[in-house]
Amino acid sequence: MKHTKSLCPECCDLIDAAIYEEDGKIMIDKECDEHGYFKDVYWSDAELYNKFEEINRVGEGVTNPMTTEGYQCPQECGLCSTHKTNTILANIDLTNRCNLNCPICFANAKERGYIYEPSFEQVRDMLQMLRNEEPTPCYAVQFSGGEPTVRDDLPDIIAMARDMGFIQIQIATNGIRLAKDMEFTRKLKEAGLHTLYLQFDGVTEEPYKIVRGFNAFPMKQQVVENCREVGIKSITLVPTLAKDVNDHQVGDMIRFASQNLDVIKGINFQPISFTGRINREEREQKRITIPDLFKLTEEQTDGEIPKDSWYPVPFVVPVSRFIAAIRNENIPALTCHQHCGAGTYVYVENGKFIPITNFIDVEGLMDFLDEITDEFYERGANKSAKVRALAKVARRVPSFIDSDESPSSVNVTKLIVNVLVRGASEATKEFHRNTLFLGCMHFQDNYNFDIERIQRCGVHYATPDGRAIPFCTYNTLHREEVESKFSRPYEVAKAKSQ
């Protein structure tokens, strides 16, 4: 079907690869002169692959790249001038220390013999670098690790990010400290934490014993209760999906979230990526791709959330494009690769799931927004054109919504019109308060690595040397390099702390 560049899983050299259809699946294969032939599943459903392939929105990247001339992609990551997506969500690893030792950790935390823990000032510099991106500064940051809550200064770091203009501040956490320390949880909320990205592997003890080494489910439940108590109202559950481990609990995890919708706003499923500590020999047994999740969701919700209710991340670009035009400012556009991730929104009513695709002609709505944005620019992008565009949105949007099939508990038409016409954070928050977001992001490893996906990545790691590195190259190629460069031996760190 097409040719791309990939990595040799053994030596990490950049080599030619082919992506093609075989037995209803999309495969990727490649051959290294030294280490031989490799083949893996790229997407498990060729029909869905082709559907997503048509939804292709390429961005323009940053106008102030971070690499020098003569760089080699992906071994010398920037962002560079060939990168097509600005930083939509930035990760900043605050430490490689962790209070768990999970066998599937892609960060391989605790295993390298040194401590990587950027200083408060280094974190400030990384945040400033992200805010300096042009033409669109980064607005969303996630503090991760290791386990970021092992740092006592985490509330101060969150407050600093808030003061620097980040409007979405998250932490990726296993939840141990938040379950045990209510006061620390309260401090995070008061400092400006918006969203908790909570490691979550299922609703029984079995998957936790396999991937975490103990039954962590009661602890996860306690985190939810503690967040409810202190007023943190945005938790995203983050399951690492692996076959025969927790893939049979996809529906139960969605139901758990729906029963706690006052604080849990979404689930971001992450099919297991074979980097870090995972045993490579298990990849064929445990490999799950994005279409597998769609089918699991359909089967385990008795068809209430069908596989055709999911759309790729860049599908919503017309929304941000329209709002950016009307507001006359640059806002982040989700121009990620169409095969990197997907999502849908689901209403919950009378114990039933109602995807927005059941009552909204989402494809027609996106086409309309593209059309009216083009008209806006053709009319001169002035005040008069703005009035016309907003009036047309208010008039036409209801035609894309089937009110007979929409949830009775909320005025969906009004919500969507408010988001498009007002374009304000409060209108967007109101929409999210009434829905459960279901997402999926399949991060790459050296077996299924596709350089085209890398060059469209919107999730980047900020590093102390002033770079933003795409997620999948950081974890396959650059993590050890960065951590070793800006680290200190355990013995030195221990002596310093004493």
- Region of 302 (left: φ > 0; alpha: ψ -120 to 50; beta: rest) is left
User: Is 405 in contact with 355 (CB distance < 8 Å)?
Assistant: no
pLDDT tens per residue, range 171-227? 999 999 999 999 999 999 999 999 999 999 999 999 999 988 899 999 999 999 999
pLDDT at residue 490, rounded to an integer:
56
Beta bridge partners of 236: 197, 266
pLDDT tens per residue, range 239-260? 999 899 999 999 999 999 999 9
The CA-based diameter of the chain, rounded to the nearest angstrom, is 68
User: With bands split at pLDDT 50, 70 and 90, how would you rate the model's confidence at 433?
Assistant: confident
Spatial CB neighbours of 492, under 8 Å, sequence gap ≥ 6: none
Tokens 């790229």 belong to: 42
Residue 279 clears pLDDT 70, i.e. is over it: no
The distance from CA 37 to its chain's CA centroid, rounded to whole angstroms, is: 31
Higher pLDDT, 81 or 226: 226
pLDDT tens per residue, range 356-368? 999 999 999 999 9
Residue 494 clears pLDDT 60, i.e. is over it: no
Tokens 């490799």 belong to: 38
Residue 276 clears pLDDT 70, i.e. is over it: no
Instruction: Give the whole-number percent of the chain exceeding pLDDT 90.
Output: 75
Across 209-213, 293-297, 410-414, 418-422, which has the greatest mean pLDDT? 293-297
- Kind of pairing, strands 36-43 and 436-441? unpaired
pLDDT tens per residue, range 107-158? 555 555 789 999 999 999 999 999 999 999 999 999 999 999 999 999 999 9
**Sign of the C-alpha dihedral, residues 268, 274, 279, 281?**
positive
pLDDT tens per residue, range 54-70? 999 999 999 998 886 55
User: Is 127 in contact with 81 (CB distance < 8 Å)?
Assistant: no
Closest CA to 350 of 421, 401, 284, 408: 408
Residue 495 clears pLDDT 50, i.e. is over it: no
Residue 431 clears pLDDT 90, i.e. is over it: no
What average pLDDT does this structure show over 406-421?
86
